[in-house]
A and B are shown apart, each in its own frame.
Chain A
């Protein structure tokens, strides 16, 4: 990778790093998710900035060009993150469903409880009305 490329990647990485830290600071990103991004960004910066490390990784993966190795790693990261995010969404959705169900049941139970004394009262009132007639 050329020096210009290394500088550009480092600049983008640093901007992303600051953005992630700012999101965590404002509570708009969980610390756990933030850590994943910080570690990945730092790892990418090290990989791009140390030429022999990038060459070693390229050989290890079996790629010919370092750019191909980086693309493959990036794709793997994106797919893993996507799966992780969808898992998290499903978990939250299931929790929400459970809450909605529990709330609906509790309200229905309250309704049924309220309706039972009303029914009993109505039943008691019938003879009174007849007597008055």
Chain B
């Protein structure tokens, strides 16, 4: 990436009134040189109002479309506006914007198309990972290894850096959670995915998307999407060849 590369930081937010102002403040102070976009994914609380007062660029979904669509909106915006790379951060304050600098340096040096801020590789950390979620992460990590031959330890991290090269393929398919299915899809298309250790704080405000019912629903849904990701990648490759 060139030194003058345009980088966009995107924060998908859904009902994060309690944390969004602090997150934006931290991002602005840690990463002042980059443009910032918040995707307000149809929040029903005061998130929209807070964003208005902060004077940040906001892409507002009129209704809640889900995390995958929110990230996709950010990618579409980055593609339309000619950005060279996109950084995604969660709005719940768990990610530390201070760590993005290291992530970016590794991204620029490593040559990966997507670099994931990983909690589960050496050097990374996450306080208070629920047992069920840890098992799920292990499962999907092994599924990714089985399907693409490379272990990705943190398939559900919201902290990612993406190069412009992956913007186009990611706007062509609908991703529900932008987790293992997106990773498998990109890797099957031949893109390079890497991981960089980050530490993630415990959530202090709002609710996690991982409710009790999701412990059963999420693995089934993601497994099906991984399978569809493989098929979709195969079809995309064939279309490109022809």
Listed in ascending order, the chain A residues whose CB lies under 8 Å from chain B are: 94, 96-97, 100-105, 107-109, 111-112, 115
Listed in ascending order, the chain B residues whose CB lies under 8 Å from chain A are: 35, 37, 39, 55, 57-63, 65, 69, 72-73, 76-77, 80-81, 174
Identify which of B55, B63, B81 contacts A109 (C-beta below 8 A): B81
Chain A residues whose CB sits within 8 angstroms of the CB of B81 once the complex forms: 109, 112
Chain A residues whose CB sits within 8 angstroms of the CB of B59 once the complex forms: 104-105, 107-108
A101-B80 in contact (CB<8A)? no
A100-B63 in contact (CB<8A)? yes
A115-B55 in contact (CB<8A)? yes
A108-B57 in contact (CB<8A)? yes
B73-A115 in contact (CB<8A)? no
Known: A97-B69, A101-B69, A101-B72. A108 touches B61 (CB 8 A): no
Chain B residues whose CB sits within 8 angstroms of the CB of A94 once the complex forms: 174
A111-B57 in contact (CB<8A)? yes
Identify which of A97, A111, A115 contacts B65 (C-beta below 8 A): A97
Closest residue to B65 on the A side, CB-wise? A97
| Cα–Cα, bound, A112→B65 (Å) | 23
| Cα–Cα, bound, A115→B76 (Å) | 20
| Cα–Cα, bound, A103→B39 (Å) | 12
